[in-house]
Structure 1
């Protein structure tokens, strides 16, 4: 479910009112823990956290006009989603997150390649999300991204 929005604030104003406090808290936790080279924006119809062209001029290889996507959050129909591009590129980070999750949440981890789905939105492990955000800087992500591109 993509939301047409011009800014993160605009995005939040267009989601169901009961989801706003949760998304605002998730956004605040991520912003408080991001490295300085990562910027917040609207990207792919979600609130995005990207490496801007001022830091990584090459942009995203799929479309170099776009900044390099790092993390996203979205209010989907049946869940809130957190997308972390580094988590599926870095096996050690994935392993860390999977091992840490049960320490912070009683719910079963519902995860795809880079998508972590929170169906019980009142049980989002915000502290763990903050720790995940701190695990990788934007510059570390660029290095990881480029090493994965070179493998292709």
Structure 2
């Protein structure tokens, strides 16, 4: 379920009513806890939290015209998707998240490499997401990204 939007406000306005409150709360948790330097924008057709070109001029290696992505949230057909590149790029962060998830939610974790699928929006572990967002600074993300993409 792709939402065609050019601004954050347009995107949010198109999230279905039954997911609106949870989506807004997830966005607020991210904005309140993401370290300084990341910028919110539409990125890959989702709400994105990126390292802007002003901080990382090289941009994303797949398309250098795009800023370096870090976290995204999206309204999908059957779930709210939460994408965190640090979970994909840093195994110990992934392990921490998987271990902690069970402490915050009684719903089975539905996760890909960097995507957490929240099918029951009333069960989103907002406190865990807040903790996760505080675990990596812009500088740490850039360093990790560069170390993984050398060569």
What TM-score do the two structures reach when normalised by structure 1? 0.97
Provide the residue aligned with 1:19 in structure 2.
19
Provide the residue aligned with 2:30 in structure 1.
30
Report how far residue 2 of structure 1 moved: 2.0
* In 2, Cα distance between equivalents of 1:70 and 1:14: 23
Query: What is the Cα-based RMSD across aligned positions, in Å?
Result: 0.8
* In 1, Cα distance between equivalents of 2:53 and 2:33: 21
2:58 aligned with 1:58: yes
Provide the residue aligned with 2:42 in structure 1.
42
* In 2, Cα distance between equivalents of 1:102 and 1:85: 21
Report how far residue 70 of structure 1 moved: 0.3
Q: Where does structure 2 lack aligned partners over 5 or more consecutive residues?
A: none
Q: Where does structure 1 lack aligned partners over 5 or more consecutive residues?
A: none
SS for the counterpart of 1:6 is coil
**Mapping of residues 86-101 of structure 1, within 5 Å:** 86-101=86-101
Kept after mapping to 2: 8 A contact 1:2/1:44:
no
Q: Which runs of 4+ in 1 moved over 2 A?
A: none
